[in-house]
Amino acid sequence: MSRLASAFAAARGSTGLVPFIVAGYPDFATSLALLRGFARQGVRAVEIGVPFSDPIADGPEIQRASERVLRNGDGSDQALALVEALRRESQMPIVLMSYLNPLLRPGFEAFLERARRSGLDGVLVSDLPPDEAPEIWDAIDRIELDSVVLVAPTTDERRLPALLARARGFVYCLARTGVTGAGSGYSGAIPERIESIRRRTDLPVAVGFGISSGHEAARLKGIADAVVVGAAFVRAVDTGSPEGATERVLALSGELIEALA
């Protein structure tokens, strides 16, 4: 059983937190401090985002964070370095969230092999549909990484089986259309969408996009298996002195965990 599967199975019936951070933002040391803090707080898992120059699914907060990291010359290597550093001291499940291009640049299979050796548990390739590039999906399976897939509010019921057949670890259900962070978009009926997913798979279901406070997270308590939060943490980094970034982010994650308890 993978670390992701074990973490969700051990907390069955509860709703956990899955924080997302951009690797290397605002710097490597702070990123690692945040991951260590999340591990101490007992989050369900973490997502580490690989910085990319054209993150079409991300809102302005994550876009700016990615741009800053890339200007410093960092990227996928730094993301795996964070995984390696954290894995020396924690068994918290880690998912790498990326667009396809940054993973193709170093050679996809070589990158995945290094990712597995680093202690990574899963990957979410946000712009790779499950019916495209079968050699990549086969490589993910062969290297024994979980492959997290996205289900949108606009996903057709007839499309769900193909998505869920590709899913490992957990299913990431988008709370609304649009990009990450605060904003509007079509959300539909989230509980009904989660129930539709559950009828077709035994995998846990996490919900993300647009969740930024304990109040918003609490609405999903007992409905989803986890809540994914990312842009709100980037905003917390940016709204004060760099020295206080870790404290601000962990205060927010603590608020979210308490709301879901």
User: Which residues are known catalytic residues?
Assistant: 47, 58
Count of CB atoms within 10 A of residue 56's CB?
10
Cβ–Cβ under 8 Å, residues 245 and 236: yes
d(CA 102, CA 77): 10
The gap between the terminal CA atoms of the chain, to the nearest Å, is 25
DSSP bridge partners of 16? 226
Q: What is the largest CA-CA distance in the chain?
A: 49
Token code pair at residue 114: 């290094």
Closest CA to 229 of 43, 74, 81, 69: 43
